[in-house]
């Protein structure tokens, strides 16, 4: 009987993980200006269709802001939980390279950790692969390996 063993597509998995981690950094650094209330008044000659309900732009923006913050917090907690599963050196590499407000360059990280270049890149790839599995964003090749 032949066994089908899926194989991870390394390039696509790395791209998916980097996209996820850059989204984390975006959440960390930005708050969209379209979720901030405007300070200039807007007037309209059109009467509201339902006179029993009250809705203001500021109220709607406040609701959107709360929803955004909830989604942001959930996303960041998901990333934090996944990073916490990594080994200490792997965690440090991921945090410094991808999650810091001002990310480090690879060369600075491996010098800081006292690792050789080759060892650093092996550990970085292991950390990225473990993190992709923890976040359930790994990508498999379409053509499965048959054993």
The pLDDT tens digits of the residues spanning 89-142 come to: 999 999 999 988 888 999 999 999 999 999 999 999 999 999 999 999 999 988
Domains and CATH numbers, the chain: 4-47+55-146 (1.20.140)
Average pLDDT value over all residues in the chain:
83
State the pLDDT at residue 121.
Answer: 96
Band (pLDDT 50/70/90 cuts) for residue 50 is low
- Mean pLDDT computed over 33-42: 49
State the pLDDT at residue 18.
Answer: 94
Which residue from 51, 117, 63, 120 is spatially nearest to 92, judged by alpha carbons? 120
DSSP code at position 95: I
DSSP code at position 136: T
State the pLDDT at residue 28.
Answer: 83
Query: What is the full DSSP assignment across 6-55?
Result: --B-HHHHHHHHHHHHHHHHHHHH---GGGSPPSS-----SPPS-TT---
Check if the beta carbon of residue 92 is closer than 8 Å to that of residue 80: no
The pLDDT tens digits of the residues spanning 4-14 come to: 778 889 999 99
This prediction has a pTM of 0.73
């Amino acid at each position: 009987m032949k066994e089908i063993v899926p194989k991870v597509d390394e390039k696509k998995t790395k791209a998916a993980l980097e996209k996820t981690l850059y989204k984390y950094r975006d959440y960390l650094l930005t708050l969209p200006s379209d979720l901030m209330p405007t300070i200039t008044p807007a007037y309209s000659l059109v009467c509201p269709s339902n006179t029993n309900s009250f809705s203001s732009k500021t109220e709607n923006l406040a609701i959107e802001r709360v929803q955004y913050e909830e989604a942001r917090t959930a996303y960041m907690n998901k990333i934090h939980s996944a990073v916490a599963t990594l080994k200490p050196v792997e965690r440090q590499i991921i945090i410094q390279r991808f999650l810091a407000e001002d990310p480090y360059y690879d060369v600075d990280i491996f010098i800081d950790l006292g690792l050789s270049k080759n060892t650093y890149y092996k550990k970085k790839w292991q950390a990225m692969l473990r993190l992709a599995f923890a976040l359930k964003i790994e990508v498999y090749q379409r053509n499965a390996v048959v054993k």
